[in-house]
Amino acid sequence: MTRLLAQNRAFAGACLLLALLWLTYNALHPRGFSAAVLVQNANESVAIGFVAMAQTVPVLMGGLDLSVGAVMTLTNCIASAVVSGSPAQIVLGMVLTLAAGTAFGLMNGLVVVYGRIQPIIATLATGAIAIGLALLIRPQPGGSIDDDLSWALTNQLVDFADTYGLAEGGKTWWFRPFAPLPVPLLLLVGTAFLAWIPFRRSITGRTVYAIGSAEGAAYMSGLPIARAKIAAFTLAGFFAACGGLYLAIQTSSGNADVTQAGAYTLNSIAAVVLGGTSLLGGIGGAIGSLVGALMLRVISFYFRILSVDPLLQPLIEGLVLLAAVSLGAVRTLRVRNRLELFR
């Protein structure tokens, strides 16, 4: 157990900090610790949570994906066009949205591996393409999402059951303990467990970590480097698409907002760092980035309840971010052999 903690110091620290922040928030909130607040918070955290998980995979390889926000925006717009109609059409629409994002991620991977272009600049360019496509689909904000779906996925589990007539509308006895769980949170955690954990335990997942840690050694050891790099970007595209799909469901519209895309991308990088993943690669994980994203969100929630002067909010957000990432520097100051500072 101690070994687990020692090897995952940053992640453990992030979890602790998140717990602290969240508990304090609820303590200060007039209606804290209530289901309504939890659901509302969860709703607002899903998109950034998915985008942060998306960013994690390329970062683990020592690279970066600057197109995650754009892919989220693109899939947002696609969803706003196809996720409506008959139940079959809705399901097809959702599948199409996720497939589109995944395919875009695949394209990113192919450009990086076979085009041999550095990820940061390749995804800078593909991000522009994604935004362009999004603008083609939705030159103006608009579109619609099936109302039932929207209601079901943005509230508690009992509402989900009620909408779709499961478990007698959520009233059966074995359902009760699960009733108040916010569906958005379940979606986040569920996707993390169903998509991320198996990936991490596969050879491809291990290769991603190995590439970030020592790519030369990974090649010499016979790991499938090209396959892992392509898979990493593809997975990033998938997670970004999850975020875009949910955003469409949450806002019931598609909005090709360039500024918002950029903000999501940059915030995803911050979330990844806060969650304990190293920008140098090899250390960290998507769950940590999820924690980091939640931390960012919770900090922004504080502004609402502390009635901070709105003019000061951006400044405080910036200072908090700067302080948080500087914490990692404390270890640097204790280094005794300066050669260790250079990788």
Partner 1 sequence: MTATLARLHPRNLRPETRPILIAAGFILVILALGTAYTLRAQGTAPLLSPGYLLQQLQIGAFLGLVAAGMMMVILLGHIDLSVPWTLTAAAMMATTVGGPWAIPAGLAVGVAVGLFNGFGVAVLRIPSMIFTLGVDSVMRGLMVAHTGGFAPRTEATPLMRSLAAGKLLGIPTAIFVWAAVSLVVAVTLSRTGFGRSIYATGSREGAAYLSGIRTRLVITGAFVASGLCAAAAGCLLAGYSTRAYQGMGNAYLLPAIAAVVLGGTRILGGSGRYAGTVVGVILIVLLNSVLSIMQMPEAGRQIIYGVVIIGMLLVYGRNERVTS
Partner 2 sequence: MQSEQPQVVLTGVSKHFGGVRALDNVDFACRRGTIHAVLGENGAGKSTLIKILAGVHRPDAGEVRLAGRPVAFANPAEATRAGIVCIFQELSLVPDLSVADNIAIADPPKRLGLIDRRAQNRRAERLLARIDCADIDPRDLVRDLSLSRRQMVEIAKAIGRAPSVLILDEATSALTARDVETVYALLADLKAEGVASIFISHRMHEVEALCDTLSVFRNGRHIETFATGARSPAEIVRLMIGRDVEAQFPPKPARPARPEPLLSVKGLRWENRLNGIDLAVGRGEIVGLGGLDGAGQKELLLALFGVLRGVEGTVRTGAATGIPSSPAAAKSGPARIALVPEDRKTEGLMLARPIADNLLAASFGRVSRGPLIDETLARAAIDEALATLRIKIGSPSDPVATLSGGNQQKVVIAKWLMARPDLILLNDPTRGIDVGTKQELYRLMRELADAGKAILFYSTDYAELIGCCDRVSVLYDGTVVAELEGEALTEEALVAAALNIGAAA
Among 259, 203, 212, smallest CA distance to 56 is for 212
Amino acid at 122: A
308 binds partner 1 (CB under 8 A): no
Do the Cβ atoms of 48 and 243 come closer than 8 Å? yes
Choose from partner 2, partner 1, none: what does 269 bind? Cβ within 5-8 Å by kind.
partner 1
315 binds partner 1 (CB under 8 A): yes
Q: Which is nearer to partner 2, 218 or 271 (CB)?
A: 218
The pair of three-digit structure tokens given for residue 11, joined into one six-digit string: 């992640």
Binds partner 1 by CB under 8 A, chosen from 90, 99, 128, 189 = 128
Q: How far apart are alpha carbons 134 and 178 in whole angstroms?
A: 37
* Amino acid in position 205: G
> Rounded to an integer, what distance in angstroms lies between the CA atom of residue 82 and that of residue 188?
22
Q: Torsion over CA of 80, 85, 89 and 90, rounded to 10 degrees?
A: 50
User: In the bound complex, what is the minimum distance in angstroms from residue 129's beta carbon to partner 1?
Assistant: 4
Asked whether the CA dihedral 307, 310, 316, 317 is positive or negative, the reply is positive
In this structure, how many other beta carbons lie within 10 angstroms of the beta carbon of residue 257? 19
> Residues 219 to 238: which contact partner 1 by CB under 8 A?
219-220, 225
Q: Which of residues 223 and 296 has its CB atom nearest to partner 2 in the complex? A: 223
Q: Which does 332 bind (CB under 5 to 8 A by kind): partner 2, partner 1, none?
A: partner 1
Please, which residue, 117 or 195, has the CB nearer to partner 1? 117
Which residues in this chain contact partner 2 in the complex, by CB under 8 A?
A: 3, 7, 198, 201-203, 206, 209-210, 212-214, 216-224, 282-283, 335-339
Quote the least distance from Cβ 213 to partner 2, whole Å.
4
Terminal CA-CA length for the chain:
29
What is the token pair recorded at 200? 């991490």
Q: HSE-up of 157 (CA within 13 Å, CB side)?
A: 16
* 72 contacts 244 by C-beta, under 8 angstroms: yes
Choose the contact partner of 209 out of partner 2, partner 1, none; CB within 5 to 8 A by kind: partner 2
Residue 37 or 117: the one with the smaller Cβ distance to partner 1 is 117
- Span 153-182, contacts to partner 1 by CB under 8 A: none
Interface with partner 1, residue 3, by CB under 8 A: no
Rg for the chain, CA atoms, rounded: 20
Q: Which does 341 bind (CB under 5 to 8 A by kind): partner 2, partner 1, none?
A: partner 1
Site track for partner 1 across 248-287, x = CB under 8 A: ----------xx------x--xx--x-----xx-------
- Minimal distance, residue 233 CB to partner 2, in Å: 20
Neighbours of 241 (CB within 10 A): 30
What is the per-residue burial (b if ≥16 Cβ within 10 Å, else e) of 122-149?
bbbebbeebbebbbebbeeeebebbeeb
Least gap, CB of 231 to partner 2 (angstroms): 14
> Which listed option, partner 2, partner 1, none, makes contact with residue 273 (CB within 5 to 8 Å by class)?
partner 1
Report the alpha-carbon distance of residue 238 to residue 105 in Å, rounded: 7
| Site residues (vs partner 1, CB under 8 A) | 64, 111, 115-118, 120-122, 124-136, 139, 215-216, 219-220, 225, 258-259, 266, 269-270, 273, 279-280, 310-319, 321-322, 325-326, 328-329, 332-333, 338-339, 341-342
